[in-house]
Amino acid sequence: MKSYRYTLSFLTLFCNLSLAQDITCASPEVLDTLNANVHDAALIRNTKLPPKSILDVSVSFSHISDSVARDGWLPCWAYGELEIDSYLGELLVGEDLKFSKAAKETAADYLPNIYSQPVDESRKVLTVKGFHYNVYMTPDGALKNIKLDGNDQVSLSIYGVAWFKQNIDAVKAEIAQNSYIDAYSNFTNKDRDINEIYNHLPSLIQERVRGDMRQWIKEKNDKCGKIESLSHNDVSTTEKIKVYKCQTEMTEKQIEVLTQ
């Protein structure tokens, strides 16, 4: 009878271990629970956004590790991939982010060390590399729970993406306004610089380059558009920024010519 008990206990243990091996870091039930957990963690961080805006952030996982169970638990690593729109992808890797204080601070707090990867023409993905989570199993091999790493960048990123989606109109308006101010300021500074350089040239040299300067002004206006035209009401802020940037770039090149 004793031998039978030992045999039964061994068989039970063997079956439990075999069942435990059925749970992997990439098991569907694991990934479903993981997805729910990172969104729950993002909700806990939330103080200002509608909960739905956080739950609507789509997350998937790739590059999932193939770990070996350790006494009923699995150490797992993966990439967390968050879907974002094209504008946000370009904003996070471009220069315009500096023109919105709130957006810049949110990106720094919630989206640091993010790699933006274009997936196709209309979709981008923010990838959190090295995301760590532990999978725990019951004695009979079923999924018990999942614990996220203390420094869980995925839930931080979910909140960050949700914030941008909720505030994108205000961000765009702030960027447009500050981009215009910056472009106008850069142009006026360079325009002042080239006039000062020209006015301080000896009279003889001024006479020699006067024709070249007139030709340069004509080429600059033909390529970029005239500054005077920007006072018209039908000219958009985007178009004004474009004209100022183009004028500034050509002025910088002409300053190099005059100072050689």
Non-local CB neighbours of 20 within 8 Å, separated by 6+ positions: 69, 72, 137, 141
For residue range 195-250, list pLDDT tens digits in order.
999 999 999 999 999 999 999 999 999 999 999 999 888 899 999 999 999 999 99
Using pLDDT thresholds of 50, 70 and 90, give the confidence band for residue 13.
very low
Using pLDDT thresholds of 50, 70 and 90, give the confidence band for residue 113.
low
pLDDT of residue 102: 95
For residue range 151-163, list pLDDT tens digits in order.
889 999 999 999 9
Confidence check: pLDDT of 16 > 70: no
Type of residue at 115: Y
Question: 């802020």: which residue's tokens?
Answer: 237
Residue 80, SS3? Answer: strand
Contact yes or no for 69/21 (Cβ under 8 A): yes
Question: 């474009």: which residue's tokens?
Answer: 242
Domain boundaries, the chain: 2-167, 174-258
Mean pLDDT of 176-187: 96
Kindly tell me the sign of the dihedral angle through the C-alpha atoms of 203, 209, 210, 213. negative
> What does pTM read for this prediction?
0.79
* For helices 237-258 and 203-224, angle between their N-to-C axes, nearest 10 degrees: 150
Contact yes or no for 83/58 (Cβ under 8 A): yes
Confidence check: pLDDT of 7 > 90: no
Using pLDDT thresholds of 50, 70 and 90, give the confidence band for residue 3.
very low
Q: Which two tokens stand for residue 232?
A: 């018209």
**174-258 fold:** Substrate Binding Domain Of Dnak; Chain:A; Domain 2 (1.20.1270)
